[in-house]
Amino acid sequence: MAGPIKNAMSVDVEDYFQVSAFAPHIRREDWDSLPCRVERNVDAILGLLDEADASATFFTLGWIAERYPQVVRRIVDGGHELASHGYGHQRVSDLTPAEFRDDITHAKRLLEDLGGVAIRGYRAPSFSINQNNWWAVEELENAGYVYSSSIYPVKHDHYGMPDAPRFPHRPNGEAGILELPPTTLPLLGRNLPAAGGGWFRLLPYEVSRWMLRRVNAQDQAPCMFYFHPWELDAGQPRQRGISAKTRFRHYVNLQRMPGRLRQLLNDFEWDRVDRVFLPGQ
């Protein structure tokens, strides 16, 4: 008899001051002068994964890897998959094809040098690949990436392609890169985000668990979950001058996140993205 479905756990390794919503308020030139908390937060995540005997994929910014190579080594040494989140956390929609090409190739090369492993996966900052920058899919293929998790089939004010497929597909045909969308649940004519991030902090845990279980049971498909290291860090510096909506989205229930994540890791079977969606490859 088959066991429970294994789902894919993923972490977008970036720090609190690098989130896209803060970009109008924090200058990129100031990043190096801000207190970086990503190392301690990744260590906490690695501890939770070890406690649950679970593995994950860490989509890591090249900017972080370059400054904290010990974080990359701990991820790889822990048996987790190292993947790319690009270098500088710039939305694909803000880059030209040439700038995007430089970003993804630089990040891939840097992560491979530091981690000593092949980098096969990529996730765009803020899921910023859509119908307006479809050239990015071919750029990823040409750069040597095997899969991407960059197209979120939801309607959101910052990202999303609501009509995109909900499950793994190849946007450019059978020979192209594999796209692995974050998990959604169709309800009342729209796709509800079930994959993590702010929704996981906002909704009661039981709602998130119900959505993931429903996808496993109804669709007989593995889920793709994601979160960020800063979401476990209730002690991070508070940003001034941001809108009420941005403040709510970023800070809601940070203090509850470690407990919710521990519960999630125990309620489902979790593994690396590559082993869930590309077994044997």
In a domain, 67, yes or no: yes
In a domain, 1, yes or no: no
Digit-by-digit pLDDT tens for the chain (281 residues) are 456 899 999 999 999 999 999 999 999 999 999 999 999 999 999 999 999 999 999 999 999 999 999 999 999 999 999 999 999 999 999 999 999 999 999 999 999 999 999 999 999 999 999 989 999 999 999 999 999 999 999 876 566 688 899 999 999 887 799 999 999 999 888 999 999 888 899 999 999 999 999 999 999 999 999 999 999 999 999 999 999 999 999 999 999 999 999 999 999 999 999 999 998 77
In a domain, 224, yes or no: yes
In a domain, 70, yes or no: yes
- Structure token digits, residue 98: 């040439």
Specify which residues 271 forms β-bridges with: 8
Where residue 203 falls (left for φ over 0; alpha for ψ -120 to 50; beta otherwise) is beta
Q: Report the SS3 class of residue 148.
A: strand
pLDDT of res. 2: 56
pLDDT of res. 95: 97
Task: Say what the pTM is.
Answer: 0.96
Provide the CATH number for the domain around residue 154: 3.20.20.370
In a domain, 244, yes or no: yes
Specify which residues 58 forms β-bridges with: 11, 82
What range defines the domain where residue 22 resides?
A: 6-277
Strand residue runs (E) in the chain: 6-13, 57-60, 81-84, 121-122, 147-148, 178-179, 184-187, 190-193, 224-227, 269-271
Instruction: Say which residue the tokens 């990503």 belong to.
Output: 38
Task: Choose among 1, 4, 3, 7: nearest CA to 277.
Answer: 7
Q: How many residues does the chain have?
A: 281
Packing angle, helices 69-77 and 97-115, rounded to 10: 60
- Structure token digits, residue 265: 């890791």
As a whole number of angstroms, the distance between CA 181 and CA 19 comes to 20
In a domain, 173, yes or no: yes
Specify which residues 9 forms β-bridges with: 225
**Number of domains the chain is built from:** 1
